[in-house]
Structures are given as structure tokens and as C-alpha cells.
Amino acid sequence: MSFDVAAIRAQFPILKREIDGNRLVYLDNAATTQKPQAVIDSIVSYYTECNSNVHRGAHTLADEATRRFEYARDIIANFINAPDRKEVIWTSGTTESINIVAHGLQQLLKVGDEVVVTEMEHHANLVTWQQVSKGSGASLLVAPITDDGELNIDKFKACLSKQTKMVAMPHVSNALGTVNPLDVLIPLVRQHAPNAYILIDGAQGVAHGGVDVQALGCDFYVFSGHKLFGPTGIGVLWGKADILNEWPVWQTGGEMISIVTYQDATWGELPNRLEAGTPHIAGAIGFGAAVEWFSALDLAAVQAHEQALMTSATEQAMAFDGLTIIGKAKHKAGVLSFNLDGSHPADVGFLLDKQGIAIRTGDHCAQPLMNRLNVPGTARASFSIYNTLDEVDMLFAGLKKVQMMLM
């Protein structure tokens, strides 16, 4: 098992940047990852060699664009082990994917039904279900977490019943890095809530590889391209074919129809029925290139490298006087949230940026979670495959300077 981080870094042009005369140390990967040259080249190639709409033209450019677009779908289907490529639906990202599912479920929900989420949700997977529940008369149940940021499994189970129609939960918490034990949680839902659909917010989980939707046993798995070295504005809704074939359509228009008259219309087959209008063609092609690039790496070596980064960061954080780690789950991936005593996270982020170190600060689109943990927000360092142990050291050296300036 080998992992050459220097060779990986060389493929990311932006990592050569300097900020205020300092080498860029990019530790905001949970917000978005940087793009390797292979992805940039794939997008440029589409626009310079075969820019055209897909599925519609009778000319060479349209044919080439369509083949690249659909090849990207094949790459994604293989990456998540989807049983059928038609189950991969292109969307603008995780948020739209969740909304497509929620829009359909709202038409099926009624008073007395229940939707279950967790206390660690991103707003995209909380507010969407909150509003759907309010609009349909269903009840929204929120499964609690522990003070360490782990889902309380007993209380999660207590939320499940025959009235449960949807369980929506994150694979990995964007704010805490907690990895939820889906191999335990999904069977619990099947046992105690037999009428429920299961949606997994994989925006953070998919970036670490090894997602197998068939092995997971969920009904929907949603994720974004830009969290996995791909472009912004492109994402995936994966769902079981028998469910998606009957799911109420999200948008109507071109491409998704079968027969149209002035009086009525019928819908096409998957994936077209859920992909109305001209898609983000360059984005899909770029996302396919990103996943193809990532899939060529040694996944075990990648995960070992990421774990080494987290181990070093956690050990240094625990030894750092005046620093409090927010989220101490036993199983975490890629995220270290923390606060410095007597300092606002925004000030910490600003002063780190002056040293070339990019982190995220604030509530991380998880205001109720911050309230649950009784903090106004956190500073969050999040790691990816191109980060180094040296950069972890630079983070904590930078925090020492911040602490001295804010004392």
C-alpha cells in the first residue's frame, strides 16, 4: 500500500497559490474540494471540441457530447455500485436531489405520518423535510445525538414506527465529521418502520470512497460533484428503479416527456423522466472525470492517509491548551471542529487566512446543531487527499499565533 501525496498535489494547479505571501494551506474541503487538472481538462475539452446539446442533435458534435455525457453516468453508476445506470439522475447537487425526493413524498404524506431526521443535519436535509412535514400535516421527529456528537441509537430506534414514511440522515456529518453506522441504522429502520423510505445524505460520505448503495440497502443516496473533486452545480440522485419509475416528477419540460398534446402529456422512462430541460452537460462530464480520476487511486491507501491526517490533527488538538474539540465521535472522517477559549470562530478564521491557512467558520449550515451543542459556531478544518501532515502542523502553529494575538 503506497500513497504519494506529492504526486497527488502536483495535479491540483490551485495548490501552487500563495495567500498574502504565504503558501496556501487549504483545509476547507468539507465545503468544496479543489479540482485536479484532469477534471479541468475534461471541461475545456467539451467546450472546445464538442459543445452541443445532448440527446437531440443529428450531427457529430451532438453525438460526441451525448456519448461523453452518458459515459459519465456509467462512471457514477459503477462508482456507487448502482444496479442500473438509469437509476443515476443528474441534479444540480445534494440540495436539489433531496428536494426532488421531498417534492414527491409530499404528495404521498398525510396527517398522522411521520418523518425522521437527526440532530446533526445540514439545513438541506432538515429544512426541506421540516417544510414538507408542515405542508402535509405530517410530524417531524428529530433523533437526538450525544454530547460527543454521535447518534443515540436507542432514541433513534424509539422514533421509528409504522407511521414513519421517511428516514433521512447523513452518512457523515458536515459539521462534526461523525460517521453514522448505516450498517446498524438501516436494518433498524427496516425492522421498526416497514413503511418508510430511507434517504442518505451522502454529500460528505461519498468523498471518502467505498459507497455501495446495494450493500447499504437504502432507497435513495444523494451527493454533489464539488465535494468529490468535480465541478459545482452538478450532483446525483440515486434511487431504486422501481421507486423512481413511479415517483412524482419534479419538473416538466423538454427531454422528460413521452407524448405531448395540447390537452395532456405522459412522461418518459428513467432517467429522462426526472431530468427536465438541458442538463449541466459540462458539469456531468467533469464529474465523471473526477470520479474516474479518484477511482484510479488505491482506496485503502487514500483512506489510510486521510486517517493519518485526522489522527495527527486530533492528537495536536487534544494537547493544545485552550482549544476545545467540538464533536468527539469514535468514528469520524475528515473534519475537526473546534473553538479557542475566549475567541470568536470568525476571528480565528480571519487570522489563519492571513497566514495562508483556509478553514471554515460559522454554523456550517447547521444552526439547530450548534444550539444543541451550546456554541455560537465553530472553526472547522477539513482534510482531503492532497493535504499533508506538514499542513496539519502548520495549522496548529498558526493557531498558536492566533491565540497569542487574541489574548
Whole-number Å distance between alpha carbons of 360 and 338: 11
Whole-number Å distance between alpha carbons of 70 and 143: 39
Per-residue pLDDT, 167: 98
Query: Angle 197-203-204 (CA atoms, 0-180°, nearest 5)?
Result: 120
Catalytic (active site) residue 365? yes
User: What burial letters (b/e) apply to 228-249, b meaning 16+ CB within 10 Å?
Assistant: bbbbbbbbbbbbbeeebeebeb
Active-site residue among 50, 159, 218, 365? Answer: 365
Whole-number Å distance between alpha carbons of 184 and 181: 6
- List of domains in the chain: 5-28+299-406 (3.90.1150.10), 41-295 (3.40.640.10)
Query: Angle 34-38-44 (CA atoms, 0-180°, nearest 5)?
Result: 100
The Cα-based distances of 131 to 39, 42, 123, 372 in angstroms read 36, 38, 11, 20
Q: CB within 8 A of 336, min separation 6: which ones?
A: 177, 310, 313, 314, 317, 325, 380, 381, 382, 383
Per-residue pLDDT, 56: 83
Per-residue pLDDT, 407: 77
The three cell numbers of residue 295 are 477511482
| Chain Cα centroid distance, residue 201 | 7
The pTM (predicted TM-score) of the whole model is 0.96
Whole-number Å distance between alpha carbons of 301 and 2: 6
Whole-number Å distance between alpha carbons of 151 and 145: 4
Per-residue pLDDT, 3: 86
Name the pairing type of β-strands 139-143 and 114-118. Answer: parallel
The Cα-based distances of 146 to 11, 118, 177, 328, 369 in angstroms read 40, 11, 14, 10, 11
The one-digit pLDDT tens for each residue of the chain (407 residues) are: 568 999 999 999 999 999 999 999 999 999 999 999 999 999 999 999 999 999 988 999 999 999 999 999 999 999 999 999 999 999 999 999 999 999 999 999 999 999 999 999 999 999 999 999 999 999 999 999 999 999 999 999 999 999 999 999 999 999 999 999 999 999 999 999 999 999 999 999 999 899 999 999 999 999 999 999 999 999 999 999 999 999 999 899 999 999 999 999 999 999 999 999 999 999 999 999 999 999 999 999 999 999 999 999 999 999 999 999 999 999 999 999 999 999 999 999 999 999 999 999 999 999 999 999 999 999 999 999 999 999 999 999 999 999 999 97
